[in-house]
Amino acid sequence: MCTEMKVWKQLYLIVWLTFLQIIIILLPRLGGSLVDLHAALGFVILGLAHYDYAILKRTEAPNRLKRIAKSTAVLATIQIILGLVLYADLRLNVSIPLVSVVVFIHLVIALAIITQAASVATAYDMWEEHEYTSSKK
């Protein structure tokens, strides 16, 4: 019995973890622990995005899926950089100029990660299962 998680499931895991990050950060501030949890999830997403891209590169999957997975990994890397800036502002009391712009970009990239990971997960699953058949009869 194979215990490895299928690639498409890992891609959907990125979607749900990113969604959870957004929900966590919207919760009323109960202290820094939510910010720390948000940051920890960011590192998990970063690792998953790069791992999934590395796996997809070695498959015969369509190149478009590989390009989207690569861009998702790049976006996850940018997210970590922006997240570290925001973490410094929130937790380390470092005054960051234009922090609201950084927050906005951070949110936009999170939504892009959700969109891209979901599209690759669905398309890869369909490709892997050979479900590209016409519905016309």
Convert the pLDDT of each residue in 30-71 to its tens digit.
567 888 999 999 999 999 999 999 999 999 999 999 999 999
Is there a domain that residue 1 lies in?
no
Q: Looking at residues 109-127, what average pLDDT do you find?
A: 94
- Looking at the structure of the chain, the number of domains it has is 1
Is there a domain that residue 134 lies in?
no
Q: What percent of the chain has pLDDT over 70?
A: 91
Is there a domain that residue 137 lies in?
no
Q: Looking at residues 105-129, what average pLDDT do you find?
A: 93
User: pLDDT at position 54, please?
Assistant: 96
User: pLDDT at position 12, please?
Assistant: 92
Triad 73, 76, 81: Cα angle to 5°: 130
Q: pTM for the full model?
A: 0.87
Between the CA atoms of 63, 65, 67 and 73, what dihedral angle is there, to the nearest 10 degrees? -150
Quote the mean pLDDT of the chain: 89
Whether the predicted pLDDT of 121 surpasses 60: yes
Please say whether the beta carbons of 81 and 39 come within 8 A.
Answer: no
Higher pLDDT, 4 or 75: 75
User: pLDDT at position 30, please?
Assistant: 58
Is there a domain that residue 22 lies in?
yes
Is there a domain that residue 17 lies in?
yes
Structural domain span for residue 53: 7-127
Is there a domain that residue 135 lies in?
no
Number of C-beta neighbours around residue 16 at 10 A: 12
Is there a domain that residue 51 lies in?
yes
Is there a domain that residue 100 lies in?
yes
Buried/exposed 32-46: b ≥16 CB within 10 Å, e otherwise: eeebeebbebbeebb
